[in-house]
Structure 1
Amino acid sequence: LAGVSATAVRAGPTTDGTPGVAPDTPPPAPSYPSRQSLFIVQIAPEMAPVAKVGGLADVVFGLTRELAIRGNHVEVILPKYATLRYDHIFELHEVFHDLWVPWYEAAIHCTVYFGFVHGRKCFFIEPHSRDDFFSRGSIYGFPDDVLRYAFFSRAAMEFLWRAGKHPDIIHCHDWQTALVPVFLYEIYQRLGMNHPRVCLTIHNFAHQGLTGGELLRATGLHQPERYFDYHRLRDNRHPNALNLLKGGVVYANFVTTVSPRYAAETKDQGQGFGLEPTLHMHQVKYGGVVNGIDYDVWNPEIDQHIPVRYGLDTIDGKYDNKRALRHRLMLADNEKPMVAFIGRLDPQKGLDLVRHAIFYTLERGGQFVLLGSSPDPGINADFWGLKRMLNDSPDCHLEIGFDEDLSHLIYAGADMMLVPSRFEPCGLTQLIALRYGTVPIVRAVGGLADTVFDKDHSSRPLHERNGYVFEHYDQAGLESALGRGLACYHQYPEHFRELMKNAMRADYSWNRPGQDYLNIYDYIRDK
């Protein structure tokens, strides 16, 4: 974990007046041989399965459980969306009727509800105003998204204060809740909330929450000359804009992203979307923690979505699932290796390389299965055209859409999983594939590079090598990895089988990241 041994700082500016800048020569981190239980509050825009758009929702769901089973008291605060999956919320009831949240020169009346989501203790904030912040048809995608989540962040902090809650740790996520540490330091510490420390996790730097000065009047921060300071919230590229994510980086006690490699790429390799100078300024409180996956959901030994369950000692059951997958998709039942792609049809995911991989796999004597869709009609139309072109092939099936049952069956039935991303903060696809013994073919970026180790070229011991990796984002790079995977399957089946077993032995549950986050919490709590 990069940066965890460095000196973390209290939320807000340091004593020398520079926001969040730590000493040049930090002392070593203290050790915690025995740790007391913590009161941890997660403030998030999403949590699976009640409000899910992407991987952030899975992280909040999985990490919350891991922290709780380690003996900590964990609560989650979410917006009460109209689109919540109420069938996953149990004992939902009102717990705070008159929460008045300051907004512009007045206040908005809110009701707070409590319910259990698969054992997780969750509070849902429902504002009553003409702005109708969360009673909409989707979670994101509105012109006032910045104001919606600025309000939610202020409401969450107001609720903690009014309810007399003083957590040890507040863990917030992405730009949507990046104002939480700003509010804590600038408003609520002055009201007596001196106990909490804040950890901010950034799941994707591509979205930062840029806005104008109106935000300050709305949220009660006022003082534009203070917040438009370059060392606070002023955007690095646009001097007339405020950047919510930058504010989170400046004011939080510790900032993580979802893999060590992505932390380095965002700080030093141009993937910080303009925040690179800020990350350098605050690098002593910045690091990466690889996400986990929920092994209660993604586990071939107990998976109810697949016809034949299997494990490391019963790996032949995987081939029964391969036959079931071929039968479901009406593909030829032969000796060919099956390559799969599961994911959003988004340019980030390397769609031109996915297209090339389909034809390359078929030419090299393999089968190809794709499951995914795009919110972009043009991309969807392109893949529908590809589907029609290959419709008569007995070795290819493209499923444009999403099907939960089918995704499990593909993970269980495919031999290789392609993840050729342009950039990838962490990636869950390769982690799930490893659990199912489906050999990942990945590009060496972000979390992919941190979790997949090349069979032929890795410096890792042989038993830790679990896939095929390529460096350059081009067709030759893709072919170098995919070609080796197909050749190994055809020519050295026993080697390929060992690779499958190596993949299944890897532990990418929430066990290790759970401990990483507890180390961070303990560290910043002592500051």
Structure 2
Amino acid sequence: MYIVHIASECAPVIKAGGLGDVVYGLSREIENQGHTVEIILPMYDCMRYDHIWGLHDAYKDLFVPWYDSTIHCSVFCGWVHGRLCFFIQPHSEDHFFDRGCYYGQEDDNMRFAFFSKAALEFLFVSNKRPDVIHCHDWQTGLIPVMLYEMYKWHGMANQRVCYTIHNFKHQGICGKEVLKATGLNNDEYYFNYDRLQDNFNPFALNMMKGGIVYSNHVNTVSPHHAWEARYSGVSYGLGHTLELHHYKFNGILNGIDRNIWNPEVDTFIPYQYNIDNLEDKAKNKKALRERLLLKENKKPIVAYIGRLDRQKGVELVHHALYYSLHRNAQFVLLGSATEASINNWFCHEKYYLNNNPDCHLELGFNEELAHLIYAGADIIVVPSDYEPCGLTQMIGLKYGTVPVVRGVGGLIDTVFDKDNDLNHPEEKRNGFVFYQTDYNALESGLERAIGLWHYFPKEFEKLQKQGMNYDYSWKNPAQRYIDLYDFLRHK
């Protein structure tokens, strides 16, 4: 099959979050299984050009219809660690992708509406006719709309669209100017509840809703999060739309790249190890302590790796820090805050705990250090408020770092409580799960994990190995996507 991904990110050349990892990892695995994959991306001025090999002109004069005129674009082509990527560069006074950042601009809606239009126009004029166009998040929500309403009448009637939602919180709420700009034009037609009209604001359009309504299949990134999206508030107002289109909606779990997140081959850690030589994990623990100036003692290391924001349960992260220290454990944190108030809060904690030999807070993100923390820590805590999939717990399991997670989204699909999971036999359980958002709930999971390390070390090691036995690589999710693509192309 011939698959084209259209997205706003692809790691490591463009990465702001987990979306970039998914686009790269999924593309790689699908290609490894014998299919042709191409990726279309914006050409940001701030992307990592050092990760692109052989960048060259692919289509010099792409004229994209925009309002009552056209915008001249160049399309470049290059390989990002083996993946064939096309980068669209508009030559416009709007400087859509010359902002020194990926997101966060006042005109983001127009920037990515243009990117969606340009990506489709590139497929159209270059005569690329993939079996399936795979779109990601709100930034590409208009692609299935324009494909169905416009481009299918010009030779693209056989293309099918799979639309993956990674985060329901950002939906691309916009006004009618997007219709005029893209050539969709008919305000009355699109300001309709059954099409693009936002479910709660009759004077706004919703790009993500457009993606749901017009695509051939919609999925989110874990089965449980798909259930939550329909029946709880995590879909941020799109629950009824998902219910109307439930017959084409499901959840497919993300994977992790086994060539990057694998203690057997990890070049960022001093000692590679596997399930049969966990004593080398202990050597990484010693190396982690030396790097972060932690005291060498008989205590478990509890870690948190990730953003410091409300979605990630930042209050519970803060509580986990002090609770771990109080319960005879060490604590390591690696993450950057998304709000100034949270950053100030944790800067204060870093200053207050600066001389504590059992604690280290690293405010920022360091890929190399993340690998060492996964390898050196004993327990990793993931207390998210909501979590569409989550990679942290899957990486932790691979590295023999026992996860303590809140039972939401993809966390509940991947971590099975040692004591209370009746759906899995004891030998298949791999961590600790709590469900409420209060401190007592967090403590119920963390206390069991820390206690098991202190008082039942053999049981703790058994739990580590049971976690390492799970395969959360891209192999199985990619096969599910391949089966889905095959189904769609024959619809």
Task: Give the TM-score normalised by structure 2.
Answer: 0.99
Cα distance in 2 for residues equivalent to 1:186 and 1:140 = 28
- Residue 354 in 1 paired to residue 329 in 2? no
Cα distance in 2 for residues equivalent to 1:53 and 1:445 = 23
What is the match of residue 488 of structure 1? 452
Cα distance in 1 for residues equivalent to 2:58 and 2:301 = 52
CA-CA distance at 1:414 after TM superposition: 0.3
Match for residue 331 of structure 1 among 277, 282, 294: 294
CA-CA distance at 1:463 after TM superposition: 2.0
Cα distance in 1 for residues equivalent to 2:466 and 2:318 = 28
Deviation track 1:214-234 (CA, whole Å, cap 9, x = no partner) reads 111000000101100110000
What is the match of residue 485 of structure 2? 521
Farther-moved stretch of structure 1 (193-202 vs 384-393)? 384-393
What is the match of residue 81 of structure 2? 118
What is the match of residue 21 of structure 1? none
CA-CA distance at 1:397 after TM superposition: 0.9
Amino acid in the other structure paired with 1:307: P
Deviation track 1:100-138 (CA, whole Å, cap 9, x = no partner) reads 100000010111111111111111111111011011110
SS of 1:314 mapped into structure 2: coil
Cα distance in 1 for residues equivalent to 2:371 and 2:155 = 49
Match for residue 169 of structure 1 among 117, 132, 157: 132
SS of 1:97 mapped into structure 2: strand
Listed as ranges, the gaps of 5+ residues in structure 1 are 1-37
Deviation track 1:301-347 (CA, whole Å, cap 9, x = no partner) reads 11111111100111110000000111111111011011000111111
SS of 1:313 mapped into structure 2: coil
Farther-moved stretch of structure 1 (374-383 vs 482-491)? 374-383
The higher relative CO (CA closer than 8 Å, separation ≥ 6) is in: 1
Amino acid in the other structure paired with 2:191: F
Cα distance in 2 for residues equivalent to 1:264 and 1:289 = 12
SS of 1:512 mapped into structure 2: helix
Mapping of 1:409-420 within 5 angstroms?
409-420=372-383
What is the match of residue 221 of structure 2? 258
SS of 1:137 mapped into structure 2: coil
Cα distance in 2 for residues equivalent to 1:86 and 1:487 = 47
What is the match of residue 25 of structure 1? none
What is the match of residue 8 of structure 1? none
Mapping of 1:93-132 within 5 angstroms?
93-132=56-95
Match for residue 10 of structure 2 among 47, 62, 65: 47
Cα distance in 2 for residues equivalent to 1:404 and 1:521 = 33
Deviation track 1:404-447 (CA, whole Å, cap 9, x = no partner) reads 11111100000000000000000111111111000000000000
CA-CA distance at 1:271 after TM superposition: 1.2
RMSD (Å), alpha carbons? 0.7
What is the match of residue 31 of structure 1? none
What is the match of residue 209 of structure 2? 246
Cα distance in 2 for residues equivalent to 1:194 and 1:228 = 24
Amino acid in the other structure paired with 2:460: F
**Ranges of 4+ aligned residues in structure 1 off by more than 4 Å:** none
Match for residue 365 of structure 1 among 328, 344, 349: 328
Amino acid in the other structure paired with 2:84: K
SS of 1:312 mapped into structure 2: coil
What is the match of residue 462 of structure 1? 426
What is the match of residue 389 of structure 1? 352
CA-CA distance at 1:61 after TM superposition: 0.4
Match for residue 230 of structure 1 among 173, 177, 193: 193
- Residue 286 in 1 paired to residue 264 in 2? no
Cα distance in 1 for residues equivalent to 2:59 and 2:325 = 60
Deviation track 1:432-488 (CA, whole Å, cap 9, x = no partner) reads 111100000000000000000001111201221110000111111001100000111
Cα distance in 2 for residues equivalent to 1:182 and 1:330 = 55
CA-CA distance at 1:519 after TM superposition: 1.4
Amino acid in the other structure paired with 2:229: T
Cα distance in 2 for residues equivalent to 1:230 and 1:402 = 42
Cα distance in 1 for residues equivalent to 2:363 and 2:28 = 33
Task: Give the TM-score normalised by structure 1.
Answer: 0.92
Cα distance in 2 for residues equivalent to 1:369 and 1:204 = 27
What is the match of residue 273 of structure 1? 236
How many equivalent residue pairs? 490
Cα distance in 2 for residues equivalent to 1:429 and 1:260 = 17
CA-CA distance at 1:375 after TM superposition: 3.1
SS of 2:235 mapped into structure 1: coil
Amino acid in the other structure paired with 1:269: S
What is the match of residue 89 of structure 1? 52
CA-CA distance at 1:266 after TM superposition: 0.9
CA-CA distance at 1:84 after TM superposition: 1.7
CA-CA distance at 1:185 after TM superposition: 0.4
What is the match of residue 406 of structure 2? 443
Amino acid in the other structure paired with 1:39: Y
Deviation track 1:238-263 (CA, whole Å, cap 9, x = no partner) reads 00000000000000000010001111
What is the match of residue 28 of structure 1? none
Cα distance in 2 for residues equivalent to 1:461 and 1:511 = 24
- Residue 503 in 1 paired to residue 477 in 2? no
Cα distance in 1 for residues equivalent to 2:269 and 2:367 = 11
Amino acid in the other structure paired with 2:484: I
Cα distance in 2 for residues equivalent to 1:150 and 1:468 = 43
Amino acid in the other structure paired with 1:333: E
CA-CA distance at 1:394 after TM superposition: 1.2
What is the match of residue 440 of structure 2? 476
Cα distance in 2 for residues equivalent to 1:401 and 1:518 = 37
SS of 1:418 mapped into structure 2: strand
Cα distance in 2 for residues equivalent to 1:360 and 1:122 = 46
CA-CA distance at 1:59 after TM superposition: 0.1
SS of 1:379 mapped into structure 2: helix
Mapping of 1:416-431 within 5 angstroms?
416-431=379-394
Listed as ranges, the gaps of 5+ residues in structure 2 are none
Deviation track 1:64-106 (CA, whole Å, cap 9, x = no partner) reads 0011011101000001110121111111110111111000000
Deviation track 1:12-33 (CA, whole Å, cap 9, x = no partner) reads xxxxxxxxxxxxxxxxxxxxxx
